[in-house]
Amino acid sequence: MKQFFVLGISWLFLSSAVAQNRPHAEKRDTSAAASNAFSKNDTAVFDFKKEHQSHSEGSVTVEGKLINYNATAGNLVLKNDEGIPRISIFYTAYFKKGVDPSKRPVTFIYNGGPGSSTIWLHIGAWGPQKVFINDTGRTKAPYKTVNNDYSLLDASDLVFIDAPGTGFGKLITKESGGAGSPQDFFGIDQDGEAFADFIKQFISTFDRWNSPKYLFGESYGTFRSAVVANNLEQAGISLNGVILLSQLLTYGLMTETTGQNPGDGLPFQLVLPSFTATAWYHHKLPNQTAQLEPLLREVENFALTDYATALNKGAAIDPASFNQIAEKLHQYTGLPVAYIKKGNLRINGPQFEQTLLGDSSKITGRLDSRFAGPAMNPLSEGAEYDPMDSYIDGAFTATFNSYVRNILHFGKGLEYKTFGNTGRWDFKRRGFVGFPNVMNDLAQAMIYDPTLKVMLNSGYFDLGTPYFEGEYEMKHLPMPVELQKNIEYDRYFSGHMVYLHQESLKQLHDNVAKFINSTYSAN
């Protein structure tokens, strides 16, 4: 899905790391003139080199409990050591009224891409208003927002951060009186440092240094969280928890990268349970079971044992074993035996999405395989788009653009960039070998702070960041095994955007709220 995980596999290794000036926190102009500078909507002279805020109030009812809040929509400006602006980053913050901010948790929330804004988590999951959608059904304009019964405001204050180059943010280049450049922000390390610096500035601006702090990232946002958590912890900013949704910490475990990494069968093993879940959902299994979870446990065991052995043998596998594994994969995926054999027991995600529904000329979704849509080319080897996008993009984009201007009172006359032009993302970093991998970053953060808790949330029907892949990564973090007790795992009957499924959103909310409440002391 483009807004969550723009792969760019063909140029993963073409860009190079660059030196950069680290922005720093500085004293801010908090005068009334500065706070209300944007309320006049004088967008013709809007100055991205300065910070603007728009304030509003509201209330939300979360699982029957009324919560009153203050909202601030604004931008923070990151500067270099000489005080020259480099980038303006847009955010929306919600603060519960009537509580002590120093004891109130604050959660920093972002989507992925790289290059996506955070409208998806904002009005799809955690904000006080939620876009109305019909689960896997289509909705058409006029769209609407509704009270979010499962907003996370009951457990934490919320800060939604739009990634550099997205939302109402803007790179401030030399031509516009700044010192920023794309090479400063559009890469693994650069992006991670920008988010860490934003968080440092935010907690200074809003006096939240003593608050319990959490990161919540989705998709590439989980990749980002590993870097940000390590940066913050080793800079003396302790986190209470890191919450991950639809995780991928290394590109090397994606089936889409196997063409560049022949000989590694692990990605095919880790995606197999998600293939099974998808085929089960669409009733394509030869022996359809009543319950999904027991079947998945069986498939997970097969993936790590018999299937792993077959893939590791390569061309040395005997014909009888080859045929036996092909038949087993047919039982677990619903794909034709001949097709599986033609693929040499190795079927990647786009091939599966294109083929599962057979002669119907339809494909399944990638990041939520419960969705289905017409194939752009029925003869194509792999799916050429994600049907889920066509169901939700219009509703989310239109609804947020209306909400931010009319309810949050920010952005009239400005373009909101749902997706940013991040150019060629820099995947190289110091000590970089092979495919991009941040497992070391998360492990180092957990080693540096052995009390840091981590929560992994995954959907069964996610073929982009398969649930079994994320769990495998967690169980192979390079850290003392006793720290594994600090990791919590939760699975949902949904896809990449777990919150699209209303029942799963409730479960996600309850699990995350419980995680937050259990990882800090309110005394």
Who contacts 510 (Cβ-Cβ below 8 Å, separation ≥6)? none
User: How many residues are listed for the chain in this entry?
Assistant: 523
* Per-residue confidence (pLDDT) for residue 522, from 0 to 100: 64
CA distance between the termini of the chain: 42
Q: Does pLDDT of 133 surpass 80? A: yes
pTM of the model: 0.92
* Per-residue confidence (pLDDT) for residue 422, from 0 to 100: 86
How far apart are the C-alpha atoms of 475 and 249, rounded to whole Å? Answer: 12
Percent of the chain residues past pLDDT 90, beyond the cut: 85
How far apart are the C-alpha atoms of 73 and 94, rounded to whole Å? Answer: 9
Q: Does pLDDT of 35 surpass 90? A: no
Which residue would you say has higher pLDDT here, 523 or 257? 257
How far apart are the C-alpha atoms of 392 and 413, rounded to whole Å? Answer: 25
Question: What angle, 0 to 180 degrees and rounded to 10, lies between the N-to-C axes of helices 266-281 and 319-333?
Answer: 40
Would you give the DSSP letter of residue 252? G
Distances (CA, A) of 33 to 30, 404, 414: 8, 21, 20
How far apart are the C-alpha atoms of 246 and 380, rounded to whole Å? Answer: 27
* Per-residue confidence (pLDDT) for residue 26, from 0 to 100: 29
For the ranges 237-246, 286-295, 418-427, 512-521, which has the lowest average pLDDT?
418-427
Q: Does pLDDT of 28 surpass 90? A: no
Q: Does pLDDT of 97 surpass 80? A: yes
For the ranges 4-13, 16-25, 374-383, 399-408, which has the lowest average pLDDT?
16-25
Q: Does pLDDT of 12 surpass 60? A: no
Would you give the DSSP letter of residue 81? T
Question: What angle, 0 to 180 degrees and rounded to 10, lies between the N-to-C axes of helices 306-313 and 266-281?
Answer: 130
Say how many CA atoms lie within 13 Å of 137 toward its Cβ. Answer: 6
Q: Does pLDDT of 19 surpass 90? A: no
Among 350, 113, 351, which residue's Cα sits nearest to residue 248? 113
Place of tokens 């795992």: 489
* Per-residue confidence (pLDDT) for residue 515, from 0 to 100: 98
Would you give the DSSP letter of residue 163? P
The secondary structure element, H or E, covering residue 93 is: strand 85-96
Q: Does pLDDT of 415 surpass 80? A: yes
Label residues 193-227 b or e (16+ Cβ within 10 Å = b). Answer: bbbbbbbbbbbebbebeebbbbbbbbbbbbbbbbb
CB 201, CB 235: distance < 8 Å: no
CB 185, CB 87: distance < 8 Å: yes
How far apart are the C-alpha atoms of 226 and 317, rounded to whole Å? Answer: 39
Backbone angles phi, psi at 319, to 5 degrees: -55, -40
Q: Does pLDDT of 262 surpass 70? A: yes
The secondary structure element, H or E, covering residue 274 is: helix 266-281
How far apart are the C-alpha atoms of 28 and 50, rounded to whole Å? Answer: 10
* Per-residue confidence (pLDDT) for residue 134, from 0 to 100: 86
What residue ranges do the domains of the chain occupy?
256-388
Mean pLDDT across the chain, nearest whole number? 91
How far apart are the C-alpha atoms of 118 and 160, rounded to whole Å? Answer: 7
pLDDT tens digits along 138-169: 888 999 999 999 999 999 999 999 999 999 99
Q: Does pLDDT of 327 surpass 80? A: yes
Average pLDDT over every residue of 476-480: 98
Six-digit token pair at 403? 């909400």
CB 141, CB 398: distance < 8 Å: yes
Average pLDDT over every residue of 348-363: 93
* Per-residue confidence (pLDDT) for residue 45, from 0 to 100: 65
How far apart are the C-alpha atoms of 2 and 220, rounded to whole Å? Answer: 11
CB 404, CB 416: distance < 8 Å: yes
pLDDT tens digits along 436-458: 999 999 999 999 999 999 999 99
